[in-house]
């Protein structure tokens, strides 16, 4: 994220979901708990000066996008992560770059593991290639 010195971050941490994301039948039937963290790079200077949401990034709507994608069944955490990234870049032109972390809690991998996460850092210019 090269723009980090010029831009501001909006962080949305600890979004919690019960989702049916996983390869195994048990995960598809019972589901699992997930956390999603976002760091969105945007320029909030005009929003700060005007105190007007029209110039800012509406994180209520951002949350709705994440929730919508987390409610779709799929096999891989990588898939839902990529769908969230695509949806955010397509619908929020104010997002210049983002970092997303999608965490599956207590994954069923044959041992005691607290969590497995997919973390993706991407700038809009990389996404649009």
Residue 44 corresponds to which tokens in the numbers above?
Answer: 């909030």
Q: Are strands 97-105 and 8-19 parallel, antiparallel or unpaired?
A: unpaired
What b-and-e string marks burial along 13-46, b requiring 16 or more CB atoms within 10 Å of the CB? eebebebebbeeeebeeeebebbbbbbbbbbbee
Q: Which of 28, 72, 104, 129 is catalytic?
A: 104
Is 104 among the residues known to form the active site?
Answer: yes
Q: Which residues are catalytic?
A: 104
């Amino acid at each position: 994220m090269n723009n980090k010195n010029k831009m501001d971050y909006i962080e949305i941490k600890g979004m919690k979901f019960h989702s049916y994301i996983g390869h195994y039948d048990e995960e598809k039937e019972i589901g699992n708990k997930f956390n999603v963290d976002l760091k969105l790079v945007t320029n909030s200077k005009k929003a700060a000066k005007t105190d007007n949401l029209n110039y800012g990034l509406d994180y209520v709507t951002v949350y709705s996008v994440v929730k919508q994608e987390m409610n779709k069944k799929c096999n891989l955490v990588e898939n839902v992560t990529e769908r969230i990234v695509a949806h955010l870049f397509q619908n929020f032109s104010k997002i210049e770059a983002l970092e997303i972390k999608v965490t599956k809690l207590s994954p069923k991998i044959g041992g005691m593991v607290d969590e497995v996460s997919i973390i993706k850092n991407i700038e809009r210019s990389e996404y649009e290639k």
